[in-house]
A and B are shown apart, each in its own frame.
Chain A
């Protein structure tokens, strides 16, 4: 079945530094979704990308969908302590199965 991998697994940054997590799928995706999970919380939807090469921004967060629709990235500019958490990408294997990546845990030191 479809596999979705993320790197890095962990990232520690100083507040104000930038952060990037990368997501790679074993198959071509119809879309890619990103979720954030705060420590002790549940995953919360951030954004969905559909088009090849699509770039979307949410304040300090920039999301990209690769040209081949097999990879994606999330970049955070000037991290803040509120960015702490685990970031997951997820891609549908078909209309019924949403497969999540392994996640990247971000720690921000003040």
Chain B
């Protein structure tokens, strides 16, 4: 049981490039979410999903897209990276809702030049 996995661990992008951050969980959790962590800002919710085929926006969704085609996977797409998107990105999952215990992945550190 690997829990929540994220790839890559670290990525450097140039402004304007696109990329997908991968997130997968093997706990059969319905709820999955993406957070970004910046110094002094805590963890801010980007997008979340309450089940396969259902996604919605969080606090800071601009510049990011998500999809949830399976229960296990919840990729985060940056369509045109900007330096303001330099951050550490965490994927999390919980059994049913956003009110329950969140299990976090190890994170992806992204640097946009």
Binding site for B on A (CB under 8 A): 1, 4, 6, 9, 30-31, 33, 35, 41-45, 48, 88, 90, 92-103
Contact = CB atoms under 8 A, between A and B. Distances in A.
B50 A102 contact: no
Interface of B: 31, 33, 35, 40-45, 48, 50, 56, 58-59, 90, 92, 97-99, 101-107
B42 A97 contact: no
Nearest to A40: B107
A44 B45 contact: no
A43 B98 contact: no
Nearest to B54: A96
Given A9-B40, A42-B106, A100-B44, A95 B99 contact: yes
B19 to A, nearest CB: 20
Nearest to B104: A42
B43 A33 contact: no
B59 A43 contact: no
Given A31-B99, A43-B90, A95-B98, A100 B104 contact: no
B97 A100 contact: no
A96 B56 CA distance: 9
Given A43-B43, A45-B103, A96-B98, 12 more contacts: A6-B42, A9-B40, A41-B106, A42-B90, A42-B104, A45-B101, A95-B99, A96-B48, A97-B45, A98-B99, A102-B41, A103-B42
A97 B98 CA distance: 5
A103 B97 CA distance: 22
Nearest to B41: A102
| Most-contacted residue by chain B among A4, A41, A100, A101 (CB, 10 A) | A100
Nearest to B96: A95
A41 B106 CA distance: 7
Given A97-B58, A98-B33, A98-B45, A92 B104 contact: no
Nearest to A10: B40
Given A42-B105, A42-B106, A42-B107, A1 B41 contact: no
A9 B42 CA distance: 10
| Most-contacted residue by chain A among B33, B59, B90, B105 (CB, 10 A) | B59
